[in-house]
């Protein structure tokens, strides 16, 4: 079924002049006039015939000839692996499942066993290359999409490094592989073998093993320190702690088991908080800190299924191997699996003679204790700092927008610009993820939504009394067309961010002096994404969210539905400039004004 893959086109390298012109257009209205003049001169020099730009472009084209995807490595390092920030909140998106009603521990474990069965089914579809190929929807619908990201869901691991992390891919030749899952419970980690004697465990066996794990986790005398907290720290710090940890062979063995597992299942304790949408999003993003479930995680692993005894469930995802859309597909498969194949656990646990799950052991030197204290403190600060607001806008949904013959995504982006302008009196460089999976090994590029046309529209709306409704309508159309055109550029591989990154990185690779274009303040401003947005639509009742990418920014994830839109806004409390509540409240008003 993946036969399309080899036939997918390669990502093109956009023409140099087109990117440079677009760069100037994107920044002209976002920086002071004097600065723009300076930048324009730098860009012109870079793009002049026989100049540095032409040379680097030629090298980039050569690179594209012998790589499946010329930007993939550069992008992965820039976007994720060289980013030193802690994974929770700053990098790992989460999917929040509908709240469950568990009445007992057995209920929770039954849910977990059912979910793990679904995970194993899904994994066998991936392994057998039997997942149906995804096709593009919306703009330029119908083309097949690259399925490469799915292969990494249960096989990769983000290893922390002193300067840069590594995305490790496991490849096993043993068939069927002796696979295992790590179950986290009360900050302890247990190995749950899911294939024993070449047989995959059924749901009943899984339940039996989970009960045993639960009982082992309850024995207070055997509890070990919450080592998982180390993975919530910034990457350099965790790399340092890990280098101390692996000096001991017991720790090395435990780390090895975690790094090679399929995924984690985190059995969380009740959080003691009211499970509103916002609170569930917060709990999923950071576990509530060390005194809640913050240590019951291992952030380097791509998939952590969280099952809270209080019914707070979802998935925490390490972002470097795949995009949110893959997370959605996997989560939706699991929810449908659990609904469509009723739990096979009618009565009590199985009586089978399965070997007992193993608790992972840790030897904690005083150095490691000190690392743990520091990691716990930092996580606590992150917990206090995150300002989240999940809001279901019920005024209308994408149907109303489609009826106006407008692209819902473009419309929502313009609404976000309008809101930002109303809150802050200006527009800022904005990131909207655009899938480039139409191409081999395609990940994403950026739609720069703060277009000059959006600025003209939001200014007109802000000065409402002086401008007629017809003029505003005209400006809205122009803004939506500009946004839609940029979207089409991006999904066809013609956006500017990956291209500029490629030019910058190839200069570095060739050990050339950094071109002035990239040391110019305008360039730094252009990639400081105060507004970081993403559409993550779902067909099941759930939502995705993530944190801001800069200290003074907002993360804005939205999920357009037929008659409503879910918005998940995040920001940091220690920034005096931002407020998620204010943003959401203003957005409601802006969406209503736009409808009017
Ligand atoms: N009139 C009427 N209907 C229109 C329209 C118009 N002018 N323009 C679009 N529509 C319809 C589309 O046909 C589509 O219909 P469907 O719901 O039946 O499929 C729907 O409106 C949505 O289209 P649109 O709002 O234009 O957006 P899109 O689905 O093309 O999405 C992106 C745009 C950029 C979000 C998408 O291309 C993309 O890249 N998504 C991936 C983002 C991502 O990676 N997120 C995760 C990051 S971790």
Q: What average pLDDT values come out for the chain (596 residues) when binned by 10 residues?
A: 70 98 98 98 98 98 97 98 98 98 96 97 94 94 95 96 94 68 98 91 96 97 97 98 98 97 97 97 97 97 98 98 96 95 62 87 97 98 98 98 98 98 98 98 98 98 88 98 98 98 98 98 98 97 98 98 98 98 98 97
Question: For residues 96 and 99, what is the distance between their CA atoms, to the nearest angstrom?
Answer: 8
Encode 383-396: b = buried (16+ Cβ within 10 Å), e = exposed.
bebbbbbbbebeeb
Q: Which two tokens stand for residue 390?
A: 């999940």
> Phi first, then psi: what are they for 558, rounded to 5°?
-135, 150
Distance 537 CA to ligand 1 centre (A): 9
Q: Is residue 70 within 8 Å of residue 12, measured between CB atoms?
A: no
Determine which helix (DSSP H) or strand (DSSP E) holds 33, and give its type and residue range.
helix 33-47
Distance 137 CA to ligand 1 centre (A): 7
Distance 103 CA to ligand 1 centre (A): 40
Distance 76 CA to ligand 1 centre (A): 25
Beta bridge partners of 191: 182, 358
> Phi first, then psi: what are they for 447, rounded to 5°?
-95, 120
Q: Is residue 232 within 8 Å of residue 273, measured between CB atoms?
A: no
| DSSP assignment letter at 465 | G
Q: Is residue 169 within 8 Å of residue 156, measured between CB atoms?
A: yes
Return contacts of 215-224, CB within 8 angstroms, 24+ apart.
216/188, 216/190, 216/357, 216/359, 217/185, 217/186, 217/188, 217/190, 217/267, 218/186, 222/359, 223/186, 223/187, 223/188, 224/187, 224/188, 224/359, 224/361, 224/362, 224/364
Q: Is residue 155 within 8 Å of residue 172, measured between CB atoms?
A: no
Instruction: State residue 465's pLDDT score.
Output: 80
Instruction: Supply the DSSP string of 332-393, one letter for each residue.
Output: HHHHHHHHHS--S--SS-----PPPPEEPP----HHHHHHHHHHHHHHHHHHHHEEEEEEEE
Q: Is residue 243 within 8 Å of residue 153, measured between CB atoms?
A: no
| Residue 275 burial by Cβ neighbours in a 10 Å radius (0-12, 13-18, 19+) | middle
Distance 555 CA to ligand 1 centre (A): 20
Q: Which two tokens stand for residue 477?
A: 């159309």
- Cα 285 to chain center, whole Å? 11
Q: Which of 138, 327, 444, 445 to mutate to test the pocket of ligand 1 (most atoms within 8 A of CB)?
A: 138
Instruction: State residue 177's pLDDT score.
Output: 65
Residue with token string 């930007």? 71
The 10 Å Cβ neighbour count of residue 220 is: 7
Give yes or no for a cis peptide into 391 (omega within 30° of 0): no
Contacts of 405 (CB under 8 A, 6+ apart): none
Q: Which of 94, 95, 136, 139 to mutate to test the pocket of ligand 1 (most atoms within 8 A of CB)?
A: 139
Query: Atom 46 in ligand 1: which residue has the minimum CA distance?
Result: 324
Helix (H, G, I), strand (E, B) or coil at 544: strand
Q: Is 142 left (phi over 0), alpha (psi -120 to 50) or beta?
A: left
Catalytic machinery residues: 319
Query: Atom 16 in ligand 1: which residue has the minimum CA distance?
Result: 138
Distance 95 CA to ligand 1 centre (A): 20
CA of 398, closest atom in ligand 1: 21
Contacts of 26 (CB under 8 A, 6+ apart): 429, 448, 450, 451, 496, 526
Query: Atom 15 in ligand 1: which residue has the minimum CA distance?
Result: 138
Distance 408 CA to ligand 1 centre (A): 7
Query: Atom 22 in ligand 1: which residue has the minimum CA distance?
Result: 138
**Ligand 1 pocket residues where CB is under 6 Å:** 137-139, 323-325, 402, 405-409, 433-435, 444, 487, 491, 534-536
Q: Which two tokens stand for residue 254?
A: 């435990």
Query: Atom 8 in ligand 1: which residue has the minimum CA distance?
Result: 407
CA of 546, closest atom in ligand 1: 48
Contacts of 352 (CB under 8 A, 6+ apart): 204, 205, 208
**Cα pseudo-dihedral 42, 44, 47, 49, rounded to 10:** -130
CA of 412, closest atom in ligand 1: 25
Beta bridge partners of 53: none
pTM to 2 decimals? 0.96
Query: Atom 3 in ligand 1: which residue has the minimum CA distance?
Result: 402
Distance 382 CA to ligand 1 centre (A): 33
Question: For residues 194 and 418, what is the distance between their CA atoms, to the nearest angstrom?
Answer: 51
Q: Which of 76, 409, 477, 537 to mutate to test the pocket of ligand 1 (most atoms within 8 A of CB)?
A: 409
Query: Atom 36 in ligand 1: which residue has the minimum CA distance?
Result: 434
Can you give the length of the chain in residues?
A: 596
Instruction: Supply the DSSP string of 109-164, one letter for each residue.
Output: HHHHHHHHHHHHHHHHHHHTT-SPPPB--STTTT-B---GGGGGTTTEEEE--SS-
Q: Which of 412, 498, 535 to mutate to test the pocket of ligand 1 (most atoms within 8 A of CB)?
A: 535
- Bridge-based pairing of strands 303-308 and 264-268 is parallel
Query: Atom 34 in ligand 1: which residue has the minimum CA distance?
Result: 434
Determine which helix (DSSP H) or strand (DSSP E) holds 499, and give its type and residue range.
helix 497-509
C-alpha distances in angstroms, 364 versus 254, 361, 368?
Answer: 13, 10, 6
CA of 136, closest atom in ligand 1: 37
Distance 138 CA to ligand 1 centre (A): 4
Instruction: State residue 1's pLDDT score.
Output: 42
CA of 435, closest atom in ligand 1: 39
The 10 Å Cβ neighbour count of residue 584 is: 20
CA of 323, closest atom in ligand 1: 48
Instruction: State residue 347's pLDDT score.
Output: 53
CA of 484, closest atom in ligand 1: 26
Query: Atom 17 in ligand 1: which residue has the minimum CA distance?
Result: 138
Instruction: State residue 173's pLDDT score.
Output: 55
Distance 398 CA to ligand 1 centre (A): 10
CA of 406, closest atom in ligand 1: 7
**Cα pseudo-dihedral 462, 463, 469, 470, rounded to 10:** -100
Q: Which two tokens stand for residue 449?
A: 């939504």
Distance 10 CA to ligand 1 centre (A): 22
Determine which helix (DSSP H) or strand (DSSP E) holds 302, and give its type and residue range.
none
C-alpha distances in angstroms, 512 versus 49, 55, 502, 506?
Answer: 19, 11, 14, 9
């Amino acid at each position: 079924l993946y036969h399309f893959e080899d036939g997918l086109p390669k990502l093109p390298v956009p023409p140099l002049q087109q990117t440079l012109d677009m760069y100037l257009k994107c920044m002209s209205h976002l920086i002071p006039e004097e600065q723009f003049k300076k930048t324009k001169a730098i860009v012109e020099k870079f793009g002049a015939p026989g100049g540095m730009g032409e040379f680097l472009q030629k090298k980039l084209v050569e690179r594209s000839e012998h790589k499946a995807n010329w930007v993939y490595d550069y992008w992965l390092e820039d976007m994720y692996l060289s980013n030193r920030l802690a994974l929770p909140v700053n990098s790992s998106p989460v999917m929040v499942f509908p709240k469950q009603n568990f009445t007992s521990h057995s209920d929770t474990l039954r849910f977990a066993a059912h979910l793990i069965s679904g995970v194993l089914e899904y994994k066998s579809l991936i392994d057998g290359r039997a997942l149906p190929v995804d096709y593009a929807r919306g703009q330029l619908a119908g083309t097949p999409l690259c399925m490469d990201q799915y292969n990494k869901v249960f096989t990769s691991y983000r290893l922390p490094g002193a300067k840069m992390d590594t995305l490790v891919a496991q490849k096993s030749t043993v068939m069927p592989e002796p696979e295992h899952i790590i179950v986290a419970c009360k900050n302890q980690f247990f190995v749950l073998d899911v294939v024993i004697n070449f047989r995959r465990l059924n749901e009943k066996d899984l339940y039996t093993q989970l009960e045993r794990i639960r009982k082992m986790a309850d024995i207070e005398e055997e509890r070990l320190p919450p080592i998982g907290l180390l993975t919530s720290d910034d990457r350099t710090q965790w790399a340092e702690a890990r280098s101390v940890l692996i000096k001991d062979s017991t720790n090395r063995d435990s780390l090895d088991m975690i790094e090679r597992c399929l995924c984690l299942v985190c059995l969380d304790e009740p959080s003691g908080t009211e499970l509103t949408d916002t609170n569930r999003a917060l709990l999923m993003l950071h576990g509530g800190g060390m005194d809640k479930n913050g240590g019951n995680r291992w952030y380097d692993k791509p998939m952590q299924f969280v099952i809270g005894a209080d019914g707070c469930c979802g998935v925490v995802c390490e972002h470097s191997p795949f995009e949110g859309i893959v997370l959605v597909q996997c989560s939706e498969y699991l929810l449908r699996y659990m609904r469509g194949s009723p739990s096979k656990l009618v009565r009590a646990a199985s009586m089978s003679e399965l070997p007992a799950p193993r608790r992972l052991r840790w030897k904690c030197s005083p150095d490691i204790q000190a690392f743990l204290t520091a990691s716990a403190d930092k996580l606590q600060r992150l917990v206090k700092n995150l300002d989240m607001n999940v809001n279901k806008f019920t005024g209308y949904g994408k149907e109303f927008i489609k009826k106006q013959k407008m692209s819902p995504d473009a419309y929502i982006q313009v609404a976000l610009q309008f809101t930002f302008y109303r809150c802050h009196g200006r527009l800022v460089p904005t990131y909207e993820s655009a899938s480039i999976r139409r191409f081999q090994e395609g990940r994403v590029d950026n739609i720069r939504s703060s277009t000059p046309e959006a600025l003209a529209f939001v200014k007109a709306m802000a000065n409402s009394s002086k401008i007629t409704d017809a003029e505003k309508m005209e400006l809205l159309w122009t803004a939506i067309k500009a946004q839609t055109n940029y979207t089409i550029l991006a999904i066809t591989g013609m956006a500017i961010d990956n291209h500029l990154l490629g030019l910058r990185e190839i200069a570095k690779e060739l050990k050339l002096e950094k071109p002035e274009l990239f040391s110019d303040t305008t360039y730094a401003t252009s990639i400081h994404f105060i507004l970081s947005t993403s559409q993550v639509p779902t067909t099941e009742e759930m939502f995705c969210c993530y944190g801001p990418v800069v200290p003074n920014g907002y993360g804005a994830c939205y999920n357009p539905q037929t008659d409503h839109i879910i918005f998940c806004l995040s920001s940091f409390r220690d920034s005096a400039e931002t407020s998620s509540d204010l943003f959401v409240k203003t957005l409601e008003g802006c969406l209503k004004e736009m409808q009017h």
